Amino acid sequence: MRLFDALDRDTARRYGPKVKAAPMANVDYKVRFQKWSASRTMKPPPSCGRIFAGYLVVRQLGTAGQYETWIPGEAFDEIYTPAP
């Protein structure tokens, strides 16, 4: 997974200044959630009547509150940028 920086203070405050992310469709996240949610902290997947491109995102890195979630691609690009 690649490291990304939050683009604004509010996002950094709410979810941590850095996240790890990898491209993943919503249906793939649903499969991952079904397989791993019993042993990992994960947000439930969105409904998937249609397939959307997006990102698997790990927020609150290195804290007790660390969790995985899925974010649509356009929304992700609005709040995160690749870390140098």
Q: Which domain holds residue 38?
A: 2-82
Rounded Cα distance, 10 and 38, in Å? 30
Rounded Cα distance, 69 and 82, in Å? 18
Structure token pair of residue 84: 């140098």
What pLDDT digit, counting tens, does each position of 19-76 carry? 999 999 999 999 999 999 999 999 998 877 789 999 999 999 999 999 999 999 999 9
Alpha-carbon distances of 37 from 13, 72, 84, rounded to whole Å? 25, 20, 31
Q: What's the number of domains the chain is made of?
A: 1
> What pTM was computed for the model?
0.91
